[in-house]
Every structure is written in C-alpha cells, then in structure tokens.
Amino acid sequence: MPACASCGRDVSFLDLRGGQCQDCRAQAESGRVASAIKEIETVPTPEELNDPAVLALIVTTTSEIPNRQIDGIIDIVGAETAVGLNIFKDIANNFRDFFGGRSKTVQTAVREARTACMAELRLAAVKLGADAVIGVRFDFSELSTAGSGGILFVAATGTAVKLAK
C-alpha cells in the first residue's frame, strides 16, 4: 500500500495524487487560498494595478466567455471602494436636485469608484491565479455622514475562473 509523501499515512492508490493523500492536498490548498486572501485584503499599489496580467484579465457580467471554455471555478472574488464626497459637492448636488439636471460631480465620483473597484477585482483574481472573472455584479450605495458630506460605496463581486488552454 502506498504512503502519503506529506504525512506518511498509508492510503489507497485511488486516494493518492501527486504523492499526497486527499487530506494533505486539501490542507495545502486551504493554506494557498488563505495566504492569497490575506494578500488580497491589503490596499493595492499603483504598480500592482497596472501589472499587464491584471490589465489583460477578462472580466464580464455574463456567465460565459465567447469562444472560450471554462476549465474550473477558483473562488468568488470581491472588491470594495469608498469615495468621500465633500460638503461642497453635496451643496452642488442639492442645487441640482432642486433645479433638475445631471450632476457631473456625482457622475465623476461614481465612475472613479467603479473604475477603482474593477481594478481591485482584477488584482484579486490574478492573485488567485484566475484567467477571467465571470458573473460580475456591482452594488452602489451612499452613506451620509453628519456635516462633512457623504461617502459613495461601490462593491463588485464575481467568480474567478481558470480557462481551458
């Protein structure tokens, strides 16, 4: 009977893959995912966000990618961005609300927050070894703060996947 190279336990041929038993493989995978999650939770640098691998990652709101086959699901990935709207922007928005029309300041803030959120979502997927993120969904919220303006909160989630070669 073969033995696991990691723990030395006797296992069946069916349970042994890559010299490891199923328990040791699961423990190694959970450690890899845990370290990737810890790395993802740090604030990214501009160099990380401009990495060619991050910029080349495919991101889509659909569950498939045309002319590509999904080889496997890695994990759910997410990113959040909070952008402060100062009191002067809020005053301008109140005038817009009263008189009507589009608020360029809010549109710009939403666009910037969404772009930052997308960049962080891409980075999180690359750190997990993904080739693409499918089923991306955005959520937008505004949190009011007493006297100093509001905070625009954008969250994005999706499924990081590996594509067949």
Summarize pLDDT for 100-135 with one digit per residue, the tens. 666 677 777 788 888 889 989 999 999 999 999 999
Answer CATH for 43-163 from 3.30.70.3400, 3.30.110.70, 3.40.50.720, 3.40.710.10: 3.30.110.70
For the chain, give every residue range classified as CATH 3.30.110.70. 43-163
The whole-model pTM stands at 0.63
Task: Identify the residue with better confidence: 35 or 22.
Answer: 22
Q: What is the pLDDT of residues 35-87, one digit of tens each?
A: 555 554 556 676 777 788 888 899 999 999 999 999 999 999 999 988 876 65
Each residue of 121-132: b (16+ CB within 10 Å) or e?
bbbbbbbbebbb
Alpha carbon 84 to its chain's center:
21
